[in-house]
Amino acid sequence: MVYLNMRIREDVRQIAGFGNDHIRLPIDEEQMWDEEGNKKTRAFGLLHEAVGWALEFDLRLIVDLHIIRSHYFNEPFLLTHHQASWTHIRDYSGPVKYPGLSVDPADLEGLPQELVTRIGHHNRVYTKVSMEGMIMIPLNYAMEHNLPLYCGEWGCLPAVDPEMRLQWYADMREILEKLEIA
């Protein structure tokens, strides 16, 4: 437990080092209270630790109790989660591309059919325009229900070409700013 907490503290330090000014901490009611409405001591302890880390690294902390419409965006998944150990595509170590078709079909030759099928579920052409269209879905929902929209989770793992990764970040930031999504 101590190692895990120190690892998370290091992640918060790194987030601040990237120049971010806040972090989002999504929590659900059942994580914080038991069925009788009693506080879960361990959960509140972790919440207090997160507040402490945010203060330590001069970050604002958004505790997301799902009062606002919160959305995450992880497309193109084959790019943003390339080689992520917790995903169903973790065994693909070939090249990925952005913008454009995420994985060239020629790069799938010789791979197990099951992996090719998993990759196929995500393999499409992604551009700034197509991603903006995807983000319009939760934005339209939020607007129809008179809710603010917060894109609390978006990012790309560093396992991809830095130039593509930076292009994706630039496109995402431009989209979110254009649509006035926090």
Least confident of 2-6, 18-22, 140-144: 2-6
Average pLDDT, the chain: 89
The better pLDDT of the pair 26, 180 is held by: 180
The mean-pLDDT minimum among 8-12, 39-43, 63-67, 164-168 falls in 63-67
Task: For the chain, give the percent of residues with pLDDT over 90.
Answer: 62
Q: Is the pLDDT of residue 35 over 90?
A: no
Confidence of residue 68 (pLDDT cuts 50, 70, 90): low
Where residue 174 falls among pLDDT bands split at 50, 70, 90?
very high
Quick check: 33 pLDDT over 90?
no
Can you state the percent helix, strand and coil of the chain, rounding each to 5?
Answer: 45, 15, 40
Question: Average pLDDT in the 47-61 region?
Answer: 93
- Per-residue pLDDT of 105-159, as tens digits, reads 999 999 999 999 999 999 999 999 999 999 999 899 889 988 888 887 889 999 9
DSSP 4-66: HHHHHHHHHHHHHHTT--EEEEE--HHHHB-TTS-B-HHHHHHHHHHHHHHHHTT-EEEEE-S
Domain map (residue ranges) of the chain:
2-66, 70-178
pLDDT digits (tens, 9 = 90+) for 71-105: 778 999 999 999 999 899 999 999 999 999 999 99
Highest mean pLDDT: which range of 48-57, 117-126, 173-182: 117-126
At 63, the pLDDT band (50, 70, 90 cuts) reads: confident
Interatomic CA distance for residues 140 and 176, integer angstroms: 14
Q: What is the mean pLDDT of residues 68-73?
A: 69
